[in-house]
Amino acid sequence: MISHGFWKAQGLMVAAELGIADHLADGPATVSLLAEKCACDAGALYRLLRALASDGFFEETESGAFRNTDDSEVLRSDHPQSVRALGMMVRRLEYPTWVHLLDSIKTGKTAFNEIHGKGLFDYLAEHPEEADIFDQAMTAVHGQESPAIASAYDFSATTSLMDVGGGNGTMLKVILETHPHLQGILFDLPHVVERARPTLTASPVGQRVAYQPGSFFDPIPGSPDAMIMRQIIHDWTDEPSIQILRNCREAVAPEGKVLVVEQVVPDGNTPHPVKWLDVDMLVYVNGQERTEQEYRQLFEKAGLALERIISAGRFEILEGKPAADG
């Protein structure tokens, strides 16, 4: 039943939080040993693992021990496509917020803000452990998408690229690897830039990255050839989104490009995951997803002309340039 789908989701998130797949990395283990390592009740843990094993997550052996399966391997912290941090983030931050969906629908207010008294990003700035998990979760979500973005857009005429709100620098790193002629600038809040700096500096593209701390709600220094934002605008309602875009328009080189990487909401009843993501933005972040027409209106109000939309995997790259009358 769709109404009980949260049973399995919660079970997987708890397994992620407990690090069960990590504890099984070297082979099968008994429930008593797992319970000891996880500080859990052995009987309760067995019931959870039995349920997860019935759906292919973990496998119970004839001796009563459990081992990983292909599906549970991705819950390991060291797996190349690990989703452990994503499960932890959803369990700690996102799922408790969705319990208040009804309140958001009735009031139009963001449940997370009402619960915590502040927005998600202000909350993360004050909670470094959750912020680290959030960064890892975003890498899990977006890590496989960056190559498609890097390949879809022609950066041959670009020499400097600023990643606005670039977080841990994952996308910027992939773009610089794909386009060796580019110089990159990571722009984000000071504490975010400092979290990203060690790993990005130590990477093969580290010598081609400059770091610019700041807020995209304030004037942005520099004059890069292009500025790119991945899923930044969808975090905000119209007024702050226009301010971000306007600041980019004023910062980018006169003939430069402002690239907005988002999922565009299709019209009508066309099924698309972005329509549910839009509800998540309402409940969790105080943002929204938008149609092509809504993006055109945002760009116009910010003094940008939306020139074209380029497909990049499950995303679209909306290419804007400073409007002549902007």
Q: Which of 63, 72, 70 is nearest to 19 (CA)?
A: 72
Amino acid code (one letter) for 88: M
Instruction: Give the three-state DSSP class for 10.
Output: helix
Residue at token pair 């079970």: 11
Question: Which residues 6+ apart lie within 8 Å of 179 measured at CB?
Answer: 150, 155, 156, 158
Q: Which of 177, 253, 249, 245 is nearest to 209 (CA)?
A: 177
Amino acid code (one letter) for 322: P
Taking the C-alpha atoms of residue 219 and residue 232, their distance in angstroms, rounded to an integer, is 17
Burial (CB < 10 A; 0-12, 13-18, 19+), residue 238, is middle
Taking the C-alpha atoms of residue 99 and residue 35, their distance in angstroms, rounded to an integer, is 29
Residue at token pair 């349920």: 51
Taking the C-alpha atoms of residue 160 and residue 209, their distance in angstroms, rounded to an integer, is 10
| Residues catalogued as catalytic | 234
Q: Which of 206, 199, 250, 243 is nearest to 227 (CA)?
A: 250
Identify any residues that bridge with 320 across adjacent strands, giving them in sequence order: 258, 306
Buried b (16+ CB within 10 A) or exposed e, 257-286: bbbbbbbbbeeeeeeeebeebbebbbbbbb
Report the helix count and the strand count for the chain, using DSSP H and E.
Answer: 17, 9
Taking the C-alpha atoms of residue 201 and residue 13, their distance in angstroms, rounded to an integer, is 32
